């Protein structure tokens, strides 16, 4: 029975456990005691199931970043290694809660999470509740990708930090870009029927009305998420509406299918997206999407801004030939968290959180980014990039196709107000 | 509005005919063996992936022919060594078996091919617009999909009604004992039908993969719709499955194309509600939004009022 | 005597439930125990339909989910002091709503059993899951809705902040629900459910409306699924669409089936096994779903009556005292079978990993060397062959262990 309990409590993959066991066999106990306890960081994202490819890429980036910058250079806090603990939440709010309890059970106090705003919201609530009920065992949420504005607005929390620009910030820049194009007279908005899709729709309509009242919104369509077999019927509506451009917040297979249906129908209009790259999407779009599909994202795509950034990409590719550096913000987040740990010489989430507030940090791309203390939202440059095969130094999916940045806005111009009323915990 | 209607009809037909390729195999399996093959759409996915791998080396056309054969063979083997064994434990066991099989195939596909979207493209030969109507192109590939599906329908209909094999199969559906007594190898017929049924699903996958995206969730997307068709059409009725497939395809396509919803209905009736009404979601619902659930609504209604389906004769 | 024995079983059940957190007391263990408690009630309620009533449902999660949603809404009402009562009674609210949903849906879906019932349940399940995304004011869209269980009045000083508190609440409800579901099988309605399952025509002949009998089972099943949903709401303090969709419906079918449909205890075993696998296996391998699928298929093929059925197979040998005859044959077959599984897992993992050095059971294996592969292949082939070979002696031993008892019986 006791053994069984041990089985339940252990949460690392069995391989790691067995490696440790074999280490115990080979090394003397004396040499082991010198090694310091690692700083453990959980990576909680879908690692199995339909959305697993995005999660696995993120895990590779985080793991590589930790090894590349810290573990191979003697660790942090004077010799402690960073251990990344993968937790598979299957992109489900239920599983997220289970995995959260596992993390707490293992005394992990920093959780990286990015995929799905629904999951991020659940985790945010769960963590706030847990931290309130269990002082001294707090957990920090490092959100590197979930872009629902509410996380740094009405539902902002002292324990949550976002390292990606939220949807409204991105849309603000995107609509500036669209407004500057006099050829666009009408716009079609299509998205998945859930919170992010609705945010994209509402915000773009509102912003376009302000910036270019003459642009007519000729369609505002929602489709069920992950259930549409064939997007051609939707494309028919887009064609007959006579739209000059399309905005969509679709991701994953819904993004690919939509783009391909548009391409197949011979409709030659620009498509503005958030997630139409990497994880097989770039390769699948290929020639058909050339100079048509544009993405709004933070940081910069080709050409990369600094030699260090390029070297990071090359070394990452050398170690993980089938993966791309899709989200360099994971590295930014890790570096900022480590900076906070080193500054305070503490791994306590409260200390880290205080140090992160209003931190200004220079990324390996040479850009200074700012974590606003009022709502824990990062500010950095935003770019609009195009899907192409010209001047692509770092391609996606090993396909020769990739993103080239066409338009860039410095972080100062991306700053938006926040309705956040932060309530820091008493210490 | 006319162009929307014409294209909605075309789209509906393409989807409907594609669904029929899946439903035809399923309805045969269903009516013969009493098995609701939950894994049927998984064979469709398998077809797309196998054809994708073949197309990388030998081109699309080889994949079109070889992939369904491989999938059909696999189906036959699964029937022989899995399903037949489970058959002794009754229908629920068979069903749970196919349920687990669907799960396993999805995992196996991810194991062998990875979890990202596959770059499975239409062949260059068919990469041109067949015709352009009101500024929208109808690709030759879609025309090809329709041709293949209609061809399958005619071939199946001919084989089942005119050929000797077809007549034995028809007989085995209704009177398996008698057919066995006449000296036919009924288990072999079952295996053959299962193999052909899965091969058809595989073929549907091969031709749908390039346009509907080849990714690990493609089976789930179709999954239960195919059952809906088989049940609405009536068990064991090929013609019923054909009608139901087209009906579902067109229904969804028209629903998406339409722009009407509750607000229009309420306007017509002269009723209006405040936006903060507790049932606001209900008053603002529109047809495109609920298009994907319409088949299930239809299913429940058909089952309540006509449990045998449109053309079904037999009652369970 | 029989009465005494039965009460002993129930007391043992209660003691086990209460004693579990004493043995498994980590945060994670408590979280898994809570999941198990919910799964047990849910799986038992499903067995009322399929195992006892012969109604195959693909949409049982609807009652679980609706019960859960109403429970979370009740938590919200408590939070804003619209209602004041102890959260201890939340599962009852879930149960009542599950019952209501059962009354409504059962009124037209239980007319027929078999395929018609199965397909209606599938259709209803998809309809409600889809509309839950559309009607976001009640269901909260894909993010779901959440409440806070700590706002209600305390119960003898317990404020329900910790999961262990919820475990004891769940224990109370699990025991009560299990007891009532068991008692239901003993009532005339429960007995008639079996009769209607086995032969509806005969049941009609002796004057029972098959439809009415099915309807009663259906509603009772909805009630207990709702209780499970209420427990879910208490444990997680939120609920989303995924709790009433087809995946959840499928999972409860698996639990009941793997555990064993024909036995009252079957779904309990299934719930425990599946919960454990779901929460533990995923930590050891990225491919855990693949293994789960394989294991599931093997169970359906070789243990058609589930784990409970497998255990019950030994009843005769147990009663006759010939069980010891089986120990040695089981070991002879078991050892190569386990070795084969391990080598098979090794092969699968090795072909999946991208690392050059693969660690397995304390061994560091070089995946780029063909020697490793050849050895692993030979090992798995050899153990597979040995397992097949050893099945003969196991069969013989099985025959003899049961044959003796048959002789004695006659």
With CA atoms as reference, the chain A residue closest to C149 would be A129
Whether B101 maps to a domain, the answer reads: yes
Tokens 């549409």 belong to residue? A228
10 Å CB burial of residue A179 (0-12, 13-18, 19+) is: middle
Segment B233-285, tens digit of pLDDT = 887 788 888 999 999 999 988 888 887 777 777 777 777 766 666 666 777 77
Residue C177 has a pLDDT of 93
Domains: count for chain A: 1
Mean pLDDT of chain B: 84
Does residue A19 register a pLDDT over 50?
A: no
Region of residue C336 (left: phi > 0; alpha: psi -120 to 50; beta: else):
alpha
Flag residues of chain B having pLDDT under 50: 316
Interatomic CA distance for residues B214 and B191, integer angstroms: 28
What CATH number is attached to the domain comprising B50? 1.10.3470
Chain B residues within 8 A of A396 when measuring between CB atoms: none
Domains: count for chain B: 1
Residue B313 has a pLDDT of 65
Strands A245-248 and A271-273: parallel
**ipTM score assigned to the predicted complex:** 0.84
Residue A30 has a pLDDT of 37
The token pair that represents A7 in the structure block:
């089985």
Mean pLDDT of chain A: 84
The token pair that represents A420 in the structure block:
């956040």
Question: Which residues have C-beta within 8 Å of that of residue B95, sequence separation ≥ 6?
Answer: B35, B36, B38, C56
Strands A110-113 and A140-143: parallel
> How many residue pairs from chains A and C have C-beta atoms closer than 8 A?
114
Q: What is the mean pLDDT of residues A94-116?
A: 89
Segment A253-307, tens digit of pLDDT = 888 888 888 888 888 889 999 988 888 888 888 888 888 899 998 878 888 888 8
Put simply, the answer to whether C242 touches A22 (Cβ < 8 Å) is: no
Task: Residue A294: count other Cβ atoms within 10 Å of its Cβ.
Answer: 22
Put simply, the answer to whether C35 touches A98 (Cβ < 8 Å) is: yes
10 Å CB burial of residue C260 (0-12, 13-18, 19+) is: buried
Q: What stretches of A5-144 adopt beta strand conformation (E)?
A: 39-45, 82-88, 110-113, 140-143
Confidence of residue C178 (pLDDT cuts 50, 70, 90): very high
Whether B315 maps to a domain, the answer reads: no
Q: Which helix (H) or strand (E) holds A298?
A: strand A293-298
Length of chain C equals 410
10 Å CB burial of residue C368 (0-12, 13-18, 19+) is: exposed
Half-sphere CA count of C149, side-chain side, radius 13 A: 29
Residue B274 has a pLDDT of 66
Q: What is the mean pLDDT of residues C190-219?
A: 87
A146-A152-A155 Cα angle (round to 5): 100
Whether B310 maps to a domain, the answer reads: no
Q: What is the mean pLDDT of residues A317-341?
A: 90
Residue A4 has a pLDDT of 39
Chain A residues within 8 A of C248 when measuring between CB atoms: none
Q: End-to-end CA distance of chain B, in Å?
A: 44
CB B71 within 8 A of CB C253: no
What CATH number is attached to the domain comprising A400? 3.40.50.2300
Whether B83 maps to a domain, the answer reads: yes
Whether A331 maps to a domain, the answer reads: no
Q: Which residues of B touch A (CB under 8 A)?
A: 1, 3-4, 7-8, 11-12, 14-15, 110, 114-121, 129, 132, 134-137, 139, 141-142, 211-213, 215-218, 220-222, 225, 252-253, 256-257, 288-289, 292
Q: What is the distance of C-alpha C68 from the center of its chain?
A: 18
Domain ranges for chain C: 15-305, 315-409
C266-276 and C246-259 helices cross at what angle (nearest 10)?
Answer: 120
Q: What is the distance of C-alpha A175 from the center of its chain?
A: 21
Residue with the bigger pLDDT between A56 and C401: it is A56
CB A339 within 8 A of CB A163: no
Chain A (45-104) residues lying within 8 Å, Cβ to Cβ, of chain C = 47-49, 88, 92-94, 97-98, 101-102, 104
Chain A residues within 8 A of B221 when measuring between CB atoms: 226-229
Nearest CB neighbour to B227, from listed C119, C135, C257:
C119
Tokens 């075993």 belong to residue? C269
Which domain range does residue B299 map to?
A: 2-305
Segment A214-229, tens digit of pLDDT = 888 888 888 887 778 7
Task: Residue C35: count other Cβ atoms within 10 Å of its Cβ.
Answer: 26
Whether A160 maps to a domain, the answer reads: no
Q: End-to-end CA distance of chain C, in Å?
A: 26
Interatomic CA distance for residues B91 and B96, integer angstroms: 9
Put simply, the answer to whether A101 touches C361 (Cβ < 8 Å) is: no
CA distance A18 to chain C (A): 5
Length of chain B equals 316
Q: Which helix (H) or strand (E) holds A295?
A: strand A293-298
Whether B314 maps to a domain, the answer reads: no
Q: Which fold has domain C15-305?
A: ABC transporter involved in vitamin B12 uptake, BtuC (1.10.3470)
Does residue A178 register a pLDDT over 50?
A: yes
Q: What DSSP line would sit under B70-111, residue for residue? A: HHHHHHHHHIIIIIHHHHTT-HHHHHHHHHHHHHHHHHHHHH
Confidence of residue A140 (pLDDT cuts 50, 70, 90): very high
Region of residue A320 (left: phi > 0; alpha: psi -120 to 50; beta: else):
beta
């Amino acid at each position: 029975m006791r053994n069984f309990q041990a089985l339940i409590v252990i949460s690392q993959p069995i391989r790691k456990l067995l490696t440790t066991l074999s280490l115990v066999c080979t090394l003397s106990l004396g040499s082991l005691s010198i090694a310091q306890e690692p700083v453990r960081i959980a990576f909680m994202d879908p690692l199995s199931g339909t959305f697993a490819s995005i999660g696995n890429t993120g895990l590779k980036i985080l793991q590589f970043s930790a090894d590349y910058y810290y573990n191979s250079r003697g660790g942090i806090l004077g010799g402690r290694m960073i251990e990344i603990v993968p937790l598979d939440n299957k992109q489900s709010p239920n599983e997220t809660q289970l995995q959260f309890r596992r993390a707490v059970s293992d005394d992990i106090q920093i959780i990286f999470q990015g995929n799905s705003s629904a999951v991020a919201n659940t985790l945010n609530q769960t963590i706030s509740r847990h931290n309130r009920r269990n002082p001294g065992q707090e957990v920090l949420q490092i959100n590197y990708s979930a872009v629902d504005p509410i996380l740094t607005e009405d539902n902002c929390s002292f324990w949550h930090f976002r390292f990606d620009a939220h949807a409204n910030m991105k849309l603000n820049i995107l609509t500036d870009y669209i407004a500057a194009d006099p050829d666009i007279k009408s716009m079609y908005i299509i998205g998945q029927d859930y919170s992010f899709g609705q945010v994209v729709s509402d915000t773009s309509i509102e912003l376009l009305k302000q910036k270019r009242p003459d642009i007519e919104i000729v369609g505002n369509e929602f489709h069920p998420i992950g259930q549409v077999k064939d997007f051609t019927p939707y494309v028919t509506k887009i064609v007959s509406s006579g739209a000059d451009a399309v905005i969509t917040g679709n991701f994953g297979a819904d993004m690919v299918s939509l783009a391909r249906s548009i391409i197949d129908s011979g409709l030659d209009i620009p498509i503005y997206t958030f997630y139409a790259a990497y994880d097989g999407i770039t390769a699948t779009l290929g020639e058909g999407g050339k100079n048509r599909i544009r993405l709004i994202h933070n940081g910069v795509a080709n050409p990369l801004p600094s030699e260090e950034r390029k070297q990071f990409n090359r070394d990452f590719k050398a170690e993980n030939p089938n993966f791309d550096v899709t989200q360099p913000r994971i590295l930014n987040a890790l570096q900022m968290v480590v900076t906070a740990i080193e500054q305070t010489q503490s791994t306590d989430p409260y200390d880290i959180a205080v140090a992160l507030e209003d931190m200004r940090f220079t990324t390996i791309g040479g850009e200074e980014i700012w974590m606003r203390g009022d709502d824990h939202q990062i500010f950095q440059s935003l770019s609009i990039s195009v899907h192409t095969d010209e001047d692509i130094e770092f391609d996606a999916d090993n396909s020769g196709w990739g993103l080239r940045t066409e338009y860039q806005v410095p972080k100062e111009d991306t700053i938006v107000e926040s309705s956040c009323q932060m309530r820091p915990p008493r210490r | 509005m006319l162009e929307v209607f014409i294209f909605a009809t075309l789209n509906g037909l393409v989807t409907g005919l594609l669904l029929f390729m899946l439903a035809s195999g399923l309805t045969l399996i269903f009516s013969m063996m009493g098995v609701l093959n939950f894994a049927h759409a998984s064979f469709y996915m398998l077809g797309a992936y196998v054809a994708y791998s073949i197309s990388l080396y030998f081109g699309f056309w080889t994949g079109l022919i070889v992939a369904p054969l491989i999938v059909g063979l696999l189906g036959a083997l699964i029937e022989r060594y899995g399903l037949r064994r489970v058959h002794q434990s009754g229908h629920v066991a068979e069903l749970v078996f196919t349920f687990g099989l669907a799960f396993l195939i999805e995992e196996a596909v991810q194991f062998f091919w990875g979890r990202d979207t596959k770059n499975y493209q239409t062949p260059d030969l068919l990469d041109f617009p067949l015709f352009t109507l009101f500024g929208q192109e109808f690709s030759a590939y879609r025309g090809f999909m329709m041709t293949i599906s209609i061809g399958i329908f005619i071939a199946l209909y001919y084989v089942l009604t005119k050929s000797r094999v077809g007549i034995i199969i028809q007989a085995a559906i209704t009177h398996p004992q008698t057919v066995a007594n006449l000296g036919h190898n009924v288990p072999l017929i079952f295996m053959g039908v299962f193999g052909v049924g899965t091969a058809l699903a595989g073929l549907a996958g091969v031709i749908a993969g390039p346009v509907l995206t080849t990714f690990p969730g493609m089976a789930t997307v179709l999954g239960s719709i195919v059952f809906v068709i088989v049940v609405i059409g009536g068990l064991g009725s090929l013609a019923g499955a054909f009608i139901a497939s087209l009906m579902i395809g067109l229904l969804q396509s028209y629903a998406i194309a339409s722009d009407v919803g509750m607000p229009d209905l309420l306007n017509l009736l002269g009723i209006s509600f405040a936006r903060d009404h507790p049932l606001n979601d209900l008053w603002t619902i529109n047809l495109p939004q609920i298009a994907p659930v319409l088949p299930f609504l239809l299913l429940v209604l058909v089952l309540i009022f006509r449990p045998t389906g449109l053309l079904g004769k037999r009652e369970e | 005597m029989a009465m005494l024995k039965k009460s002993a079983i129930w007391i043992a059940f209660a003691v086990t439930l209460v004693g579990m957190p004493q043995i498994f007391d980590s945060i994670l263990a408590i979280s898994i125990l809570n999941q198990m408690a919910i799964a047990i009630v849910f799986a038992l309620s499903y067995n009322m339909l399929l195992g006892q009533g012969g109604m195959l449902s693909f949409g049982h999660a609807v009652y679980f989910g609706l019960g859960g949603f109403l429970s979370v809404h009740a938590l919200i009402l408590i939070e804003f002091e619209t209602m004041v009562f102890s959260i201890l009674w939340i599962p009852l609210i879930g149960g009542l709503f599950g019952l209501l949903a059962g009354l409504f849906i059962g009124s037209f879906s239980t007319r027929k059993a078999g395929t018609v019932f199965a397909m209606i349940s599938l259709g209803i399940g998809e309809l409600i899951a889809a509309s839950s995304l559309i009607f976001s004011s009640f269901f909260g869209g894909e993010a779901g809705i959440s409440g806070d269980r700590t706002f209600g009045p305390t119960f003898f000083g317990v404020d329900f902040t910790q999961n262990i508190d919820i475990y004891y609440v769940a224990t109370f409800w699990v025991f009560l629900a299990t007891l009532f579901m068991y008692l239901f099988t003993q009532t005339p309605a429960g007995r008639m459910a079996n009769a209607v399952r086995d032969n509806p025509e005969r049941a009609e002949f002796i004057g029972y409306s098959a439809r009415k009998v099915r309807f009663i089972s259906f509603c009772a099943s909805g009630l207990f699924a709702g209780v499970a949903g209420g427990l879910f709401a208490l444990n997680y303090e939120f609920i989303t669409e995924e709790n009433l969709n087809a995946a959840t419906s499928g999972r409860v079918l698996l639990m009941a089936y793997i555990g064993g449909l024909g036995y009252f205890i079957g779904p309990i075993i299934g719930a425990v096994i599946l919960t454990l696998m779901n929460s533990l296996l995923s930590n050891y391998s990225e491919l855990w779903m693949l293994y789960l699928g394989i294991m599931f298929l093997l169970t359906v093929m070789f243990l058609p009556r589930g784990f409970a059925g497998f255990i019950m197979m030994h009843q005769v040998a147990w009663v006759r005292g010939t069980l010891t005859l089986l120990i040695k044959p089981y070991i002879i077959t078991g050892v190569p079978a386990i070795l084969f599984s391990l080598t098979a897992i090794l092969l699968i993992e090795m072909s999946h990993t991208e690392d050059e050095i693969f660690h397995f059971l304390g061994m560091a294996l070089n995946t780029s060397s063909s020697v490793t592969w050849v050895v692993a292949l030979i090992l798995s082939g050899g153990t597979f062959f040995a397992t097949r070979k050893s099945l003969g002696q196991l069969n013989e031993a099985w025959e003899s262990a049961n044959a003796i008892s048959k002789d004695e019986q006659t």
